[in-house]
Amino acid sequence: MKRETNYMRILQTTVLAVLFSLTLSAQTMKAPSGGKKISKELIGIFFEDISYSADGGLYAELIQNGSFEYNQTERNEWHSGACWRMVRHGHSTGYIETRTDQPLNDHTPHYMRLVAETVGHYSDFRGWTGVGIQNEGFDGIVLKAGARYDLSLFLRDADKKAKQVRIALVGERNKVIAETTITTQGGSWKKYEQTLTASEDSDNAQLAVILLDNGTLDIDMVSLMPQDTYKGHGLRSDLAQALEDLQPKFVRFPGGCIVHGGGDGFWDTYRWKNTIGPKEERIGLKNCWGYHQSFGLGYYEYFQFCEDIGAQPLPILPVGVSCQGAGGSWGLKEQAQTAVPMSEMDEWVDEALDLIEWANGDASTPWGRKRAEQGHPAPFNLKYLGLGNEEKITPEFEERFKYIYDRVTAKYPDIIIVGTAGPGSHKGNRDYEAGWKFADQIDLPIIDEHYYEKREYFYDNQHNYDNYPRESKTKVYLGEYAAKDKKLTDALAEALYLLGVERNGDVVVMTSYAPLFAKKNHTSWNPDLIYFDNKNVILTCSYYVQQLFGATAGDYYYGDVAKMADDKLQGTSCVLNTEKAELYIKLCNASDDSKPATINLSKFKKLPKQAQMTTLKGNMEDENNFDQQPIKPQTSAIDITKKMTIDVAPHSFNVIRIKL
């Protein structure tokens, strides 16, 4: 009994100590007076499947056109067998053909039929025999010695005879790097799965599927995935890690122009329901940037990735109005925006309502059950929903947007809706003015502004948001922006502009640089934040600016702590993160000379003697590319006093991180 009493006393003492510690912690995180409350979600990322960002990029699938659904509407030279070639070994004879009768399912209507008429009795110089097909991947398949790769494919014995099928990863001159043999079973579609281990490195391997017996074999949904993916969730590890390292507070997806079909009209509008469920049942679609979307990276994977990196998902849905560039009318006086009849708008309303239920509903709801069946019983806790993407603000757009907006907010009042300010979101622009007027009329929570400008714009307009009305219920999401080059001078222009955005973090609540990714030799837009090929990831100067801002997000802004000369080439910011009890002082100097910055920390108690200072600097014309990467941030210790003056290096962006 005495032992129990002592135990209870120890437990009580421990609990009191913890509570006291938490109380002290809460007191130390209280923001000093003089600060302005700002958004904690200021820095996010915007993912659009442009420049092969998804298939061949972030989505780790190594086989291109594994579903045999490529076609001429996507690219003139494409057909169902694109990226595959027929191979015959050891004097074997036969042929291949793509077919649509009795497909795997209605969503993937094409498949490949492989007919081996005579399998040769003599093997070739590599010991091969048989008739088959070989896939080139996305600019070749990169293999790492010792790495394991998960193969899956659907096969059917069209002649109902079991067969031996050789699956091999081959390098130069058909050198085998990994292989396995499958014995088919029966005359109906069946999924086969194997794991292949690479015996050596290869930068340009291919996957071969070889029929070793005479007969007819149907093939569909060929997949090869490295086991080493980001958190085991099917994304390319190095690219996903680069995004996590940005510490984004939200991820906007899937676009961009692909949301409403780009220039092709409604038929290739992105429909999220086609991108969930088993991979073999997802409905692939033309990408408006000129290639194919397999949707192996679909809404489930987007939401899962947001959860993995601790970011809010911000899905964007179409609103029944096409891109005004439909039919190639971009730049014309009369653009070809079209709208679905109002009698059909309930389908687009359901698109939004069902998405919210899929993301947030429990497993007892129809759409929540679909999410749970895919492997995520718990809700994703969707907070934001975007409607539309830079559509021209016409009466047709306003009518359809409001139709969806009213019904979504009536059923889900806690969902924060993000609208659009139209294309070219600058004061004086007709769509910008109409978009803001419409936003005020309907009390839109957040409006999405987009603009891409030369570096001079960002240097000259750092006070852009200073005079935005504080009384408006509508806040700003700067959803797409970038200086039009990727040199250090462009990144510093963006840094100075972001200092002004941070100063106005009570009005601008979210920002995201765009575009995010671009694959080497497949780039549709320049500049981009991250460039890559099958082996390398190139982080631009702008990437490091975004990373420094993402890592130093706060909830209070102090305009009187750090000062530099009133010059468009210099700027400061001071942000407090009360949750982390950290203070961030940001200093940018885009001039050619060192400049003084005065810092007054008198309002902050119990300052440490030292802090960390991270500096991004170099020559203004420097840029990171596949040949060289001269610009990377460097971190060092800096002494801290209540009042101090430091020299800010020329051509530099600096962040001082102080633990309070």
Helix orientation angle between 299-309 and 237-244, rounded to the nearest 10 degrees? 50
Confidence bin at 323 (pLDDT 50/70/90) = confident
The residue type of 483 is A
8 A C-beta contact, residue 496 and residue 545: no
Confidence bin at 13 (pLDDT 50/70/90) = very low
Instruction: Note the pLDDT of residue 24.
Output: 38
pLDDT tens track for 363-372: 999 999 999 9
Q: Is the pLDDT of residue 23 over 70?
A: no
pLDDT tens track for 208-251: 999 999 999 999 999 999 999 999 999 999 999 999 999 999 99
| Angle, vertex CA 351, rays to CA 349 and CA 357, nearest 5 | 105
**Tokens linked to 505:** 């973090």
Mean pLDDT of the chain: 93
Taking residues 326-345, report their average pLDDT.
71
The three-class DSSP label of residue 17 is: helix
Q: Is the pLDDT of residue 25 over 60?
A: no
Instruction: Note the pLDDT of residue 333.
Output: 52
Asked, as a colleague might, if the bond just before 254 is cis with ω within 30 of 0, I would say yes
Output 57 or 332, whichever has higher pLDDT: 57
Q: Is the pLDDT of residue 402 over 50?
A: yes
The residues with which 223 forms a beta bridge, in sequence order, are: 152
Which residue matches tokens 């004061």?
A: 427
Active site residues: 390
Instruction: Note the pLDDT of residue 35.
Output: 97
Instruction: Note the pLDDT of residue 121.
Output: 75
Starting from the edge strand earliest in sequence, which strands make up the sheet with 643-648, in order? 562-563, 595-600, 643-648
Taking residues 290-309, report their average pLDDT.
97
Confidence bin at 558 (pLDDT 50/70/90) = very high
Instruction: Note the pLDDT of residue 458.
Output: 98
Q: Dihedrals φ, ψ of 7, to 5°?
A: -60, -45
Distance, in Å, from the CA atom of 525 to the CA atom of 659, rounded to the nearest integer, reads: 40
Instruction: Note the pLDDT of residue 123.
Output: 73
Cα distances (Å, whole numbers) of residue 179 to 87, 122, 171, 173, 522: 16, 20, 12, 15, 31
Instruction: Note the pLDDT of residue 41.
Output: 98
Q: Is 56 left (phi over 0), alpha (psi -120 to 50) or beta?
A: left
pTM: 0.94
Confidence bin at 265 (pLDDT 50/70/90) = low
Instruction: Note the pLDDT of residue 469.
Output: 92
Distance, in Å, from the CA atom of 69 to the CA atom of 6, rounded to the nearest integer, reads: 72
Confidence bin at 398 (pLDDT 50/70/90) = very high
Q: Is the pLDDT of residue 438 over 60?
A: yes
Q: Is the pLDDT of residue 326 over 90?
A: no
Confidence bin at 266 (pLDDT 50/70/90) = confident
Q: Write out the H or E segment, with its range, that includes residue 204.
A: strand 202-211
Transcribe 97-141 into DSSP letters.
EEE-SS-SBTTB--EEEEEEEE--SS--TTS--EEEEEE-BTTBE
220-229, 419-428, 536-545: range with lowest mean pLDDT: 419-428
Q: Are strands 556-557 and 36-37 parallel, antiparallel or unpaired?
A: antiparallel
Q: Is the pLDDT of residue 18 over 50?
A: no
Query: 3-state SS of 585-645?
Result: EEEEECCCCCEEEEEECCCCCCCCCEEEEEEEECCCCCCCCCCCCCCCCEEEEEECCCEEE
**Tokens linked to 230:** 């980001």
Instruction: Note the pLDDT of residue 263.
Output: 59
pLDDT tens track for 89-139: 999 999 999 999 999 999 999 999 999 999 987 776 567 899 999 999 999
Nearest to 581 by CA among 41, 17, 31: 31
Q: Is the pLDDT of residue 176 over 60?
A: yes
15-29, 55-69, 262-276, 578-592: range with lowest mean pLDDT: 15-29
Q: Dihedrals φ, ψ of 355, to 5°?
A: -65, -45
Taking residues 344-368, report their average pLDDT.
98
Q: Is the pLDDT of residue 276 over 90?
A: yes
Distance, in Å, from the CA atom of 391 to the CA atom of 143, rounded to the nearest integer, reads: 43
pLDDT tens track for 104-116: 999 999 999 999 9
Instruction: Note the pLDDT of residue 207.
Output: 98
**Taking the CA atoms of the chain, what radius of gyration do you get in angstroms?**
28
